[in-house]
Homo-oligomer: A and B are copies of this chain.
Amino acid sequence: MRILVTNDDGILADGIRILAADLAKLGEVSVVAPDRERSATGHAITVLRPLRIERIDFSDPRIQAWAVDGTPSDCVKLAIEDLLEWKPDMVVSGINRGPNLGTDVLYSGTVSAAIEGAIYGIPSVAISVAAFENCNYSMAAEFGRQLVLRVAENGLPPKTLLNVNIPSVERRDLAGVSITKLGARVWKDVFDRRVDPRGRTYYWMAGNVEDCDGALDIDSTAVRHNMISITPIHLDLTKYDLIEQLKSWDIKFSDGMD
Contacts and interface: CB of A to CB of B under 8 A. Distances in A.
A216 to B, nearest CB: 13
Contacts of A45: 40, 42, 107, 205
B82 A203 contact: yes
Give the copy number.
2
Given A177-B252, A232-B238, A39 B50 contact: no
Interface string A187-204: 000110110000011111
Interface size class of A (residues with CB under 8 A): 35 or more
Interface string A230-242: 1111111111101
Main SS at interface, chain A: mixed
A230 to B, nearest CB: 7
Given A160-B242, A246-B232, A77 B205 contact: yes
Interface in A201-257: 201-205, 217, 228, 230-240, 242-243, 246-247, 249, 251-254, 257
Interface string A138-156: 0000110111001000101
Contacts of A143: 253
A60 interface: no
B232 A202 contact: no
Contacts of A147: 251
Interface string A104-136: 011100001001000100000000000000000
A96 to B, nearest CB: 13
A193 B74 CA distance: 14
A43 B106 contact: yes
A27 to B, nearest CB: 15
Given A232-B239, A233-B239, A78 B249 contact: no
B174 A238 contact: no
Interface of A: 25, 37, 39-48, 50-53, 71, 73-74, 77-78, 81-82, 103, 105-107, 112, 115, 119, 142-143, 145-147, 150, 154, 156-157, 160, 162, 171, 174, 176-177, 179, 181-182, 190-191, 193-194, 200-205, 217, 228, 230-240, 242-243, 246-247, 249, 251-254, 257-258
19 contacts: A25-B258, A39-B48, A41-B42, A42-B43, A42-B112, A50-B202, A73-B107, A106-B115, A143-B253, A145-B257, A146-B257, A154-B249, A171-B253, A181-B238, A230-B246, A230-B251, A233-B237, A233-B238, A234-B239
